[in-house]
Structure 1
Amino acid sequence: MSPTGLSLESWLFILVALVAANLAFVSSKFLFVKPLEQKHVGWCLLEMLIWYAVIGLLGYSLESFMGNVFPKRWEFFAVTVCLFLVAAFPGFTWRFLVKHRNDAHQ
């Protein structure tokens, strides 16, 4: 157990969630599979929702593997969606706010 009270597995799960929150902004393909002509914010939000569900299922399975699954009400989901959106800010900034060299001048 670390001094903060979280185990290594908990920190690893948090790191995986941070990476997953930014995956929607890494590739111009939808879920790294379907090529899109232009990937706009709507596609990224839909992809983020899918990654949120994947991370949620992973967390639920890890929790059930460890023991009791605690009940989750709407407050839990409201907080975790907000945390996921905040964690995705670096990817959003890189994708939509930073000017890249290969972008055409307008």
Structure 2
Amino acid sequence: MSAAGWFIVLLALVGANVPFLNQRLFAVVPLRLAESTGHRTAKKNAWLRIGELVILYFVVGALGFMLEARAGNQFDQGWQFYAITFSLFVVFAFPGFTYQYLVKRR
């Protein structure tokens, strides 16, 4: 596997965990606080995290597609390829999911 292939795998691993490791949108944009709650920090809900995960999947896929085109050998992909790569992206998100939802905090 080439260096570009390993770079995309590493980028997918990082990108899949970004929605779960912090409370900011795409790890950059802070969320607005809800006026009705007494909490000082805003928490992302699960649907927002899933939306981030899907968008980051397409961003990483576009970068992979760009690197493949730059290498000169672009291949047509069917729906099976996208189903498998999205499933792999969700599996890559497991460490972040575990940290966010399954680790008990004191």
TM-score by length of 2: 0.84
Q: CA RMSD in A?
A: 1.2
Aligned mate of 1:41, from 29, 39, 46: 46
How many residue pairs get matched? 96
Query: Any conservation in 1 of the 2:16–2:89 contact (CA below 8 Å)?
Result: yes
Q: Percent identity?
A: 42
In structure 2, the gaps of 5 or more residues are 33-41
Q: 1:82 is matched with which residue?
A: 87
Query: Any conservation in 1 of the 2:13–2:92 contact (CA below 8 Å)?
Result: yes
**Structure 1 residues 14-53: aligned runs within 5 Å:** 14-31=9-26, 32-35=28-31, 37-53=42-58
TM-score by length of 1: 0.84
In structure 1, the gaps of 5 or more residues are 1-5, 102-106
Which protein has greater RCO, CA pairs closer than 8 Å, 6+ apart? 2
